[in-house]
Structure 1
């Protein structure tokens, strides 16, 4: 458990505390990147990632997931704060805890994808790729809707 500057907002990597129905509901219904995702895929992604839950008074209000080998690479994904708790700095606090996590130090590359939160991530050192011509992807944006 990590308590942030706002002593009522706490971030934990304890998977047993995660509100999986909340995470599933947000990702499948409200995210811009995973609409239609199945509960089993969400559960598998949680099981195979380093997850961070953000809690207020024991209730989960935020989430972030990191896919990593813990040695050279990490990818930050599925970051959200539920709408009624946005605008209070919880996303900044959550990302700060992610970036300071002991298992995520000394990595050669830490990536993420975002459509609209560039300013949030820039304050933590994220920039556009230095060599965008070297980045490739295999992207299936509607995979969960089929």
Structure 2
């Protein structure tokens, strides 16, 4: 995979604006990563943070703008939900602002009871000190 393309895209997103390359590199090394290449060009990417037994969190999903509208996001998510090492997870989660209709096609549903969920959320952590 083309780390420079992945970092260039993700570091400009609403969910990871300004993420340092070293932080993203560590995150990718500890995740199940899936990408789509057009020739040698990275055009789509996603990763799953998981213990490969009970829990997974889908993150950093993108398709480069020039390649959108060609079904690549569906192909990417279909590949991920069918990966052998991710079968049998008790909970598989994600967060999205705008792609609910994509993920619902693959069985993801809104959290019906958010009461048990808690978080520490630092949305601007990568922008501090810049």
What interval of TM-score do these two structures reach, taking the shorter chain for normalisation?
A: over 0.9
Structure 2: runs of 5+ lacking an equivalent: none
Scaled by the length of structure 2, the TM-score of the pair is 0.96
Q: CA deviation at 1:19?
A: 0.3
Q: CA deviation at 1:44?
A: 0.3
* Residue of structure 2 equivalent to 1:138: 120
1:129 aligns with 2:76: no
1:78 aligns with 2:60: yes
1:38 aligns with 2:12: no
What per-residue deviation string (whole Å, max 9, x for no partner) do you get for residues 6-30 of structure 1?
xxxxxxxxxxxx100001100112x
Q: CA deviation at 1:135?
A: 1.1
Q: CA deviation at 1:56?
A: 1.5
How many residues end up aligned between the 2 structures?
128
Structure 1: runs of 5+ lacking an equivalent: 1-17
* Residue of structure 2 equivalent to 1:50: 32
Counterpart selection for 1:24 from 4, 7, 26? 7
Scaled by the length of structure 1, the TM-score of the pair is 0.85
Comparing both structures, which one devotes a greater share of its residues to helix?
1
Counterpart selection for 2:50 from 65, 68, 72? 68
Farther-moved stretch of structure 1 (41-50 vs 52-61)? 52-61
Runs of 4+ with deviation above 6 angstroms: none
Instruction: Give the root-mean-square deviation of aligned CA atoms.
Output: 0.8
Q: CA deviation at 1:137?
A: 1.0
